[in-house]
Structure formats: C-alpha cells, structure tokens
Structure 1
Amino acid sequence: MNPIKRLLEDPAPYMHLIRAFALYLIVLVMGVAFVLGSHQIDEHSLWHHAVRDIGIAFLVAFIVIITIEQRQRREQNQEIKKFLSETHEHLFSTILGVEFPGEVWKLLVQKVMKEKFFRKDTHVFYRLSYPAAPRQIGGIDVVTIRQETCMEVVNLTGDKVVFPARFFVERPQGQNHESLGDSRPDIEVSVDGTAIPQSGMKAREPVGKSDEIYNLYEFDVEIGKDDSKIVKMRDYARDKLVADGEMWRSVYVCDGLLISITFPDTLEVDIDAIHPDPIEILYRSDTMLTARIERPLLPHNGVAFWWAPKAPASPPAPAPDGAVTALENC
C-alpha cells in the first residue's frame, strides 16, 4: 500500500513522527520569519541585529537538530538491529534451555530462515526394470532405473525472484564402471506444463569430486510475487547393478516427501530415511513400495533405498522313509 494512503487511513502509528516533523517545521519557519522580518527594521538599529541573530539562531538550531536526529536515528537503528540479532540468536536457548553453538545458528539462519523459496508437495517416482537386451557392468547383470521428481516451488519474498532449479543425475557407466565422459544425455523438464529446452540449461565448471560422478542440470525459473510454479524433471535411463542402491536428497527445504518405487517381482527393495524421523511405509507389494517423510526436510535430507535379487525358494526337504503327511492322515 502507498505510504501516504496508509498514513491518511490510520495516522495513529505515525503520530510521533508527525509531532517531530511539526516541531522541526516550526523552528524552520520561525528562523526564516525572524531573518526576513529583520529586513523590515532599520539595519542600523539594535532591533535589526537582535531579530536577525534570533532568526539565524533558529536556522542553525534547525540544521543541528536535523543532523543530530539523523545520526541518532541511524545509531538507534543499528542498536535495535544488533539487539534483535542477539535476541534471535539466544531465542532457542531461552525457550529450549539449550545453548546452540554460533555456527549452528548461522547455518540455520542462512539455509532456512533467509531462504527465498519453499518446496511443497514433493513427489519422487522411481522405476526399476530389466533391459530388453541383457547387459552387464563389470561382469554383473544390470537393471535400468529412471526417476521423476515433481514439486511446487513457492516464492516466500514480496518480489519477483528467480529460482535456480538444480538436479544432480548420476552419469552413465561403461562395462568396467568407467564414467562415459562428460556427455549430458537429455532430461525432460517442465514448468507449469511447459517444456524447458536443453538450451535453457546452464553449464557449471567442475568444483569437486562429485562432478566426476554426477551431471548437474540447472535452469532459472522466474516466480512472481506471492506466486508458485510446478516443476517436473524426468531423468534419462541409467544402468545400475542388479544388487545396488540409490539416494535422493533435497537441495532446498521442502515440507515433506512422498516416494514411490516400482520394480520387477524378482527383486527385493527396501528403503530408509536420511532424516531425523524414520520413514513411514504407506504401501508395499511384490512390485511396488510407497513411503513418506511427513515432516519438513532440510537441505541434503532425503532417502536411500536398495535392491537385490530375491533368494531362490528352497525345495521342500524329502520326508523320512515310512513317514506320512498330515494330509495322508486325514
């Protein structure tokens, strides 16, 4: 709302400012009035000099008041900010009775309290399947894995902002576990149902060991004030060992996680949370597992799941000679 309109509608919160402004205005007007009035008096008279000096004194007082007021207000604002910062820093200690280390508080402020975005309704889908033509990595059979992530990204600020959407996808491996170069296979990304072309992806220089294992995809999503966007990403098919594992971790804070995994009935799949809360299994069958983390995830929280071929069923042991079964006794 316009500040002037807000002042006219409800002046009460601004009365101290109005009074201060009125006082400054009176001092200024009196100074100008005395100086101008002195010119109406004979300049050789004592009254001319007295009235002029009084006017000059008012003007000097106005300048001094404005200068000192601004400096005091600036210092006061700095003290208030310092006080609020220290108060916030010790707030959790006061409430919970636990003294948090300074670095913990800084991390919390930087990664949570000052975050411009929040993710809602984060759903992750994985599909494990056998390739049409059997193949191996390092002499071990493989399965194919694909992942799709869907989320709603909410703008927490009062301005239009750009959300840097980032996805880390494991690089394809060759038959001897070698990474297949810096190739970046296509991934499918959409924002509110509109596909993002590969040309819209940003490149990034390698910054660590993880860049030798993962391809990083990054693109900008413009989100308006008090708005949100639905972002979906589907990665390329990757080969994994028939007994292997996978991790999904959140780059940003989100309000929870729902994950579904489909797989052949010849595999056993299990899952665990990378989170203080245990994971909740909602559904499990021979070919599907659905689980969730109900409470919010901080950056790098997520899930880990793993799979392996089911052990072959053991044949029934032969009955001893002369023994009869319960069915034969009926």
Structure 2
Amino acid sequence: MTWVRDLIRASGLYLIVFATGAAFVLGSYRIDHHSFWHHFTRDIGIACLVAFIVIVTIEQRQRREQNQEIRRFLSETHEHLFSTILGVEFPGEVWKLLVQKVMKEKFFRKDTHVFYKLSDPAEPRQIGGIDVVTIQQVTSMEVVNLTGDRVVFPARFFVERLQGPDHQPVLDRKPDIEVSVDGIAIAQSEMKAREPVGKSDEIYNLYEFDVEIGKDDSKIVKMRDYPRDKLVVDSEMWRSVYVCDGLFISITFPDTLEVDIDAIHPDPIEILYRSDTMITARIERPLLPHNGVAFWWSRRAAVAAPAAREPEEAAAP
C-alpha cells in the first residue's frame, strides 16, 4: 500500500538524521577539544539530533491530529451512511441507538428455539373469579462471543407474575427455574434473583446467571421455568434481549383452548404448522433487541351438536 511505503520511507529518513547526528557527536570526541573541527563536528551532530527530536515531535502531533480527523470523518460517514444510501435523513438519536444496541453488542444469538406448553391444572381453580391454566416455557439458544476477549454473558430470564382482573400482581411466588450451559446443569444457588428496578418491572421476576464465554467461542444456553399460573383468557410475550439470527417457536395446548400468534417484528410471522393442539412458527430474518412474538388464548367456544331431525310422516295413500 502506498501510505505504508511512505511511512517506511519517512521512518528511514528519520533514522538517517538520528544516526548522522549521533555519529558527528561521537566523532567529535576523537578530535582535539581545542580545535575548530571538534566544535564544528559536535555542533553539526547536536543540530541533527535536535532536528530529529523536532521532526519526530511534529510528526507525532500531526499523526495524532490526522487520526482524530479520520475518526471524526468515519464517525460522520457512518452516521450518514444510511441517509446517503437510502436518501433519508435519520435523526442522530436513531443512529446512536443502532450503534449502542447493535453494532457495539458483544453477543449474538443463533438457533433460538422457544417452546411453550399450556395445560389445564390437575385441580380446577380460579383467581379473581377467573379460571386458571398453567404455562411452562423452555428457551434454547447458542450465544456467540463477538469480541476477541473472554467475556461474561448475563443469561437473563424474565418470569411474569400472575395478573388479576385489576392488572395487579396477585401471586408473588417466584417460580423455580432450571438453567444449563452446554448440557451442564447450573445449581439454583448460583442463580441471582434481581429485585424489580422500575414500575414496569413489578410484574416480572428477573433471574440472571453469568456465563463465561472464551475468545471466538460460543455456549449453548438452555433455560426452563416450572409451570406457573395464567388466566384462561390471557396472553404471553417473548422478546429477545440481544440480536439473534431468527426465531423458532412451538406452542402446545389442550383442545379446549383457542390460540393465535403474531410477530413483534417488521416481518409477518410464518406459520409452519397449526392444529387444534399445536402451533409452530418462525421469524426467518434477524431479530433486533425487544423483537419477538406475542400469543394469546381463550376458552374455545363449544360447538352445539346438530338437532335430531323429526321423522317425516308417511304420505297418505
């Protein structure tokens, strides 16, 4: 590359100036200290060394300023890249969010599979006068380290507390969860139960476990919660915390429930299979943070049996 050759050539010239100055200074001590040539040779050497120091100082300052200018230019270029390509002027805050949440992210999730199971409880019960069903979730993913260093991935698992008709938590029991990394179960004593940090978090229990991932490595993380109560007319959302390459979801349910699903994503969800007791679907393209799916259910309306027909009277002869 031209700039590399220029840098090597310039560095060689600087070394020549330094070597010349050092040679003149050292050589002056071989000449009689009282002679004219001693002082002349020494002064030339000192001048070369001073010139070397000045040149290197100026070069470093110019290079630093040039690097700052290049970084500023690249930052502006990146910020206006989409505007230039698409012809649309994006607000600066949009670009900052994209850089912070996507381009500077340390992790990427692959092969994200989510499984839900809705069931009728063994013993029918109600909360706030409304029938209850149980729900259980299993999430599996491959977490890839995008950095060149060993990093810690915070495996976070949000469990929604039961909501009553007044939209207030009526059951504050924190359900147990199971976590495994590359097939090795993690002791529940190692799980950290974080307290809600805001008003919107009061309806969730948040669990977190730190997973160490080596340089250019990945880990298979699997999380399962124990069955928890939901209302018979209710909904559930699954959203991605990090960017992932897509999503596969499967929901099983009794034939007494009617279930539907939609994507929290610019693309519509693709239904792969649907029956009276199962839905499998996917989002093929990547999900950004907080993209995901929402599904809802209600008691299936009973289908009335057709009325028996009255026997027709025989026609009179």
Question: Hey, which of these two has a bigger chunk of strand by percent?
Answer: 2
Unpaired stretches in structure 2, ≥5 consecutive residues? none
Q: What is aligned with 1:243? A: 233
Letter of the structure 2 residue corresponding to residue 55 of structure 1 = G
RMSD: 2.3
- TM-score by structure 2 length? 0.92
Partner Cα distance (2:3, 2:65) in 1: 22
Aligned residues: 313
Partner Cα distance (1:273, 1:205) in 2: 29
Q: What is aligned with 2:84? A: 94
1:154-177 C-alpha deviation (Å, 9 max, x unpaired)? 111122211111111112568996
- Helix, strand or coil at the partner of 2:194: coil
- Helix, strand or coil at the partner of 2:64: helix
- Measured at CA, do residues 85 and 137 of structure 1 come closer, stay the same or move farther in structure 2, by a change above 3 Å? same
- Helix, strand or coil at the partner of 1:252: coil
Q: What is aligned with 1:46? A: 36
Q: What is aligned with 2:171? A: 180
Partner Cα distance (1:103, 1:323) in 2: 81
- Helix, strand or coil at the partner of 1:53: helix
- Helix, strand or coil at the partner of 1:259: strand
Alpha-carbon shift at residue 49 of structure 1 (Å): 1.7
Q: Is the 8 A contact 1:179 1:213 kept in 2?
A: no
Q: Is the 8 A contact 2:112 2:141 kept in 1?
A: yes
- Measured at CA, do residues 302 and 323 of structure 1 come closer, stay the same or move farther in structure 2, by a change above 3 Å? farther
- Measured at CA, do residues 205 and 132 of structure 1 come closer, stay the same or move farther in structure 2, by a change above 3 Å? closer
Write the mapping of 1:67-106 to structure 2, written as runs, cut at 5 A.
67-106=57-96
1:122 to 112, 115, 121: 112
Q: What is aligned with 1:328? A: none
Do structure 1's residue 162 and structure 2's residue 156 form an aligned pair? Answer: no
Letter of the structure 1 residue corresponding to residue 286 of structure 2 = P
2:218 to 200, 224, 228: 228
Write the mapping of 1:159-308 to structure 2, written as runs, cut at 5 A.
159-172=149-162, 178-181=169-172, 183-308=173-298
Identical aligned residues as a percent: 81
Unpaired stretches in structure 1, ≥5 consecutive residues? 1-10, 325-330
Q: Is the 8 A contact 2:195 2:206 kept in 1?
A: no
1:210-242 C-alpha deviation (Å, 9 max, x unpaired)? 332111111111111111110000012111111
Partner Cα distance (2:145, 2:109) in 1: 9
Partner Cα distance (2:30, 2:133) in 1: 101
- TM-score by structure 1 length? 0.89
Q: Is the 8 A contact 2:143 2:221 kept in 1?
A: yes
Partner Cα distance (1:91, 1:263) in 2: 47
Partner Cα distance (2:122, 2:235) in 1: 21
Higher mean displacement: 169-178 or 230-239: 169-178
Partner Cα distance (1:198, 1:211) in 2: 22
Partner Cα distance (1:310, 1:259) in 2: 22
Runs of 4+ in 1 over 3 A off after TM superposition: 11-17, 172-181, 317-324
Q: What is aligned with 1:5? A: none
